[in-house]
Amino acid sequence: MNFRQLLLDFWEHLKEELKRNIIYSILILFFGFLITYNIFRMNLGFNESISWIRGGITAIISTLIIIFSINIIWFTYKRMK
């Protein structure tokens, strides 16, 4: 199987999984924001507005990475089976 077909299969898998896992994505995003906001605000001593911005950006990026990597692992597991 060529690489292009593998990417197309993964894209179809990703669309199906994201529809089913939207609630988990929202929970990861919410708790990720709370954690990163508190780290920036309390531990690093940034002011409130910078903590909101950096906490939000960090939570969005980490949520995308977590969801994408979980889907890659699940896709390869299903392909190996």
pLDDT value at residue 21? 82
Residue 38 lies in a domain: yes
Residue 56 lies in a domain: yes
For residue 1, pLDDT beyond 70: no
pLDDT band for 8, please (50, 70, 90 cuts): confident
For residue 81, pLDDT beyond 80: no
Residue 12 lies in a domain: no
Rounded-to-integer distance, Cα 1 and Cα 52, Å: 45
Residue 14 lies in a domain: no
pLDDT value at residue 10? 87
Task: With beta carbons less than 8 A apart as the criterion, state whether 67 and 28 touch.
Answer: yes
pLDDT over 90 for what percent of the chain? 0
Tally the domains of the chain: 1
Residue 49 lies in a domain: yes
pLDDT value at residue 49? 81
pLDDT value at residue 59? 87
Residue 6 lies in a domain: no
The residue segments making up the domain with residue 40 are: 20-80
